[in-house]
């Protein structure tokens, strides 16, 4: 019996040594693992701030619905997703405080990308289709805006990406865009934006644009 017990003891000791060596080795030994990029999705407005309004429809509802559709598409593409809001809430006591909180969340989480979703409005009622905005100083943000615009072209009228000086885009530390998904002031857009099928189509196109951007070298 002794020799068998000896072997078992020896194997046990070897296992303990092997485990110890593995535990001591630096974590970088796990090769080939790329950190999963985190995208912060920012549904515009919320709570006491409805954003643009039309009869029976508010910007804050539409931005949340599209963002909720967008998250799963991005997760399918291997991204992690964090929402600045998942309910009908504002993130601060004032509009500037609300916007600062959205920026703070993205910067604190060191997000790879920041994607804000909004709905446009303008007085003539004639303009329709999505516009993707970026701050002009950020070449990567402009590249992201172009990639998203390219995929949005597949679902209807669209506009070229446009530079803008917006708080959440300026103060986030990563490539950031504001996807204005259409005009609540336009009857056609107003109709389309209220349709769940169109919201899904928008979300799918935005996710495709983000994915293409991410996998294309500058
Ligand atoms: Zn808005």
- How remote is the CA of residue 116 from the centroid of ligand 1, in Å? 9
User: Using CB atoms within 10 A of its CB, is residue 150 exposed (0-12), middle (13-18) or buried (19+)?
Assistant: middle
Work out the mean pLDDT of the chain and round it to a whole number: 90
Domains and CATH numbers, the chain: 38-214 (3.40.630.40)
- How remote is the CA of residue 216 from the centroid of ligand 1, in Å? 29
- How remote is the CA of residue 112 from the centroid of ligand 1, in Å? 22
SS (H, E, C) the chain: CHHHHHHHHHHHHHHHHHHHHHHHCCHHHCCCCCCCCEEEEEECCECCECCCEECCEEHHHHHHHHHHHHHHHHHHCCCEEEECCCCCCCCCCCHHHHHHHHHHHHHHCCCCEEEEEEEECCCCCCCCCCEEEECCCCHHHHHHHHHHHHHHHHHCCCCCCEECCCHHHHHCCCCEEEEEEEECCCHHHHHHHCCHHHHHHHHHHHHHHHHHHHCCCC
Give pLDDT tens digits for 118-174: 999 999 999 999 999 999 999 999 999 999 999 999 999 999 999 999 999 999 999
pLDDT reported for residue 217: 78
Is 16's pLDDT higher than 80? Answer: no
- How remote is the CA of residue 18 from the centroid of ligand 1, in Å? 57
- How remote is the CA of residue 178 from the centroid of ligand 1, in Å? 9
- How remote is the CA of residue 14 from the centroid of ligand 1, in Å? 63
Give pLDDT tens digits for 170-197: 999 999 999 999 999 999 999 999 999 9
- How remote is the CA of residue 51 from the centroid of ligand 1, in Å? 5
68 in active site: no
High-pLDDT (> 90) share of the chain, %: 82
Q: Which of 68, 101, 137, 180 is the catalytic position?
A: 180
Residues within 5 Å of ion ligand 1, judged at the Cβ atom: 44, 51, 118
- How confident is the model over 75-81, as a mean pLDDT? 97
């Amino acid at each position: 019996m002794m020799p068998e017990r000896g072997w078992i003891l020896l194997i046990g000791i070897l296992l303990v040594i092997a485990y110890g060596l593995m535990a001591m080795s630096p974590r970088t030994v796990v090769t080939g693992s790329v950190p999963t990029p985190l995208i912060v999705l920012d549904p515009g407005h919320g709570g006491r701030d409805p954003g643009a309004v039309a009869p029976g429809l508010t910007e804050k509802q539409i931005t949340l619905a599209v963002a909720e559709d967008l998250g799963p598409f991005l997760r399918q593409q291997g991204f992690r997703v964090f929402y600045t809001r998942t309910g009908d809430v504002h993130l601060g006591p004032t509009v500037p405080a609300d916007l600062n909180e959205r920026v703070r969340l993205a910067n604190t989480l060191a997000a790879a990308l920041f994607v804000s979703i909004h709905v446009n409005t303008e007085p003539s009622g004639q303009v329709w289709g999505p516009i993707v905005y970026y701050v002009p100083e950020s070449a990567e943000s402009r590249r992201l805006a172009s990639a998203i615009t390219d995929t949005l072209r597949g679902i209807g009228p669209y506009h070229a990406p446009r530079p803008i000086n917006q708080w959440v885009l300026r103060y986030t530390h990563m490539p950031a865009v504001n996807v204005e998904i259409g005009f609540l002031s336009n009857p056609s857009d107003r109709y389309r934006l209220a349709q769940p099928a169109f919201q899904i189509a928008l979300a799918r196109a935005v996710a495709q644009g983000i994915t293409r951007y991410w996998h294309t070298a500058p």
